[in-house]
Amino acid sequence: MKESFSNGFFPKSLTELVIKPVPKPGKEHDKAENWRPISVMNIDMKIIMQALTTRANEHAKKIIRPEQTGFIPGRHSEDNISGVQVLMAANVPGTLLSVDWANAYDHLSQALALLDQSHNVVK
């Protein structure tokens, strides 16, 4: 294991995994979004990946701006909502853009054009 970390490569037996699609409960099985991928991998690698994820999350908290709340442990979208409420109460002019990234790629250029037109925007 120590050698794998020093040379940056893990044996193939540790890095292989099997991905199995599992239907979401109560959903029709004819649409891709109604399935979730479940991966089965070597338990040693699962432990290593969990340790690396924990370390990466701690580092991410230090380098990702506080306005970014999605997918950062300990941060909540309610914090963003509270911030917007404070700005609205103080009558601070600005633009609020909320993007559903799952569907954003069809319309993202329009959203980015809106960002360029505003001076009080958190990008």
- Has residue 81 got a pLDDT over 90? no
pLDDT, tens only, 93-121: 887 777 666 665 555 566 566 565 555 55
3-state secondary structure (DSSP) of residue 40: strand
H or E element, residue 17: strand 17-23
For the chain, domain boundaries? 1-63, 66-123
Residue whose pair of structure tokens reads 């960002």 in the numeric block: 115
pLDDT, tens only, 82-95: 888 998 999 998 87
pLDDT, tens only, 1-55: 778 778 888 888 888 888 999 999 999 999 888 999 998 888 888 898 899 899 9
Instruction: Return the structure tokens found at 36.
Output: 């979730």
What pLDDT was estimated at residue 13? 82
